[in-house]
Amino acid sequence: MKYDFAPMEGITDYTFRLVYDRHFDGISRYYTPFLAPTAHRLFTPKDFKEIDPSVHDISLQVPQLLTNDAAVFTAAAHELKEMGYNVVNLNLGCPSGTVTHKGKGAGFLKYPEKLEKFLDEIFTKSDIPISIKTRVGTDSEEEWDGLLEIYKKFPIAELIVHPRLLSDFYKGKVRSEAFDKAYEQMHCPLTFNGDIKKASDIQSLMDKYTDMDTVMIGRGLLADPFLAEGSEKIDKVRLKNFLNDLLTEYVERFGNERTAIDRLKSIWVYLAESFPGSDKTVKQIKKAQNAAQYKSGVLQALS
């Protein structure tokens, strides 16, 4: 089984991905958090840092695009191909209101006819393979049948399914039956994404979906960065080295500890799950107002 690191806007930025990859094994590919190109400017300087081919090993990275404009998608995909990338990913899963109310991300699933036209254009005009990361509908699982019929019409390089509806956000049980349908019907490579937290979760997916060779993991890898290495034990020394390295890189990037620590605190929201007996310490880390408070909390948690 191959493990891909899910894109997580605000967390798995380029600094995180580079540092994580220095400290841990087992990840096949890292997805960039979504890049939102526009007709006015395909990539901002901030976006470019996420995809800069002189910094990243592009064979390890999949750039993700969020747009409902086929011409913009095609132009951005072409730029990425010129940089050396061999696949781009389309985001049809983002549930955030600011994205969905513009008919993008999971909001695009509400307009199947428009979506089909968009897919027709990007698959006809793009000169690079396209994978799709999707939810299974917006408000009702009944939408999934129609969406699958659309997806079947296109040469999708890989379909990554997060089997939840837009209205589920990231909560509630994943909708396994919807994924079963995709597994039965789709002929392209299929990847499961959602709530993989333990080795036994991966084993269950391997047992059930024997033809599937990749899973995508997000929060599970933040909670247990060792998950893709096959170990369920947290090695505190390695974890400490990783977090220290990440803090150093963020301070260098942002030029101040405050912003750097805010980034680290957002990781601890998930990492806290691996420290069930340390509620007080983890709270101190998550609420740290300055570097000293943060560092002393981490020191306690990892001692």
Ligand X SMILES: Cc1cc2nc3c(=O)[nH]c(=O)nc-3n(C[C@H](O)[C@H](O)[C@H](O)COP(=O)(O)O)c2cc1C
Q: Are 160 and 193 in contact (CB under 8 A)?
A: yes
Given 65, 70, 217, 247, the residue binding ligand X (CB under 6 A): 217
Given 17, 56, 104, 162, the residue binding ligand X (CB under 6 A): 162
- CA 121 to CA 105: how far, in whole Å? 17
By the rule CB under 6 A, 137 interacts with ligand X: no
By the rule CB under 6 A, 11 interacts with ligand X: yes
Between residues 50 and 143, which has the closer beta carbon with respect to ligand X?
50
By the rule CB under 6 A, 9 interacts with ligand X: yes
By the rule CB under 6 A, 106 interacts with ligand X: no
Q: Which of 27, 28, 32 is nearest to 228 (CA)?
A: 27
For residue 130, report the phi and psi dihedrals to the nearest 5 degrees. -120, 130
What is the CB neighbour count within 10 angstroms for residue 285?
26
Residue 247 CB burial class (10 angstroms; 0-12, 13-18, ≥19): buried
CB of 201 to ligand X, least distance (A): 10
Q: Which of 64, 50, 126 is nearest to 93 (CA)?
A: 64
Given 4, 6, 228, 274, the residue binding ligand X (CB under 6 A): 6
Q: Which stretch binds ligand X (CB under 6 A): 19-27, 217-225, 257-265, 282-290?
A: 217-225
Q: Which stretch binds ligand X (CB under 6 A): 39-47, 147-155, 187-195, 201-209?
A: 187-195
By the rule CB under 6 A, 20 interacts with ligand X: no
Please count the residues of this chain forming the interface with ligand X, following the rule CB under 6 A. 23
By the rule CB under 6 A, 37 interacts with ligand X: no
DSSP 8-state class, residue 106? G
Q: Which of 186, 175, 174 is nearest to 211 (CA)?
A: 186
Which of helix, strand or coil describes residue 153? coil
Residues making contact with ligand X (CB under 6 A): 6-11, 33-34, 64, 91, 93-94, 133, 162, 170, 193-196, 217-220
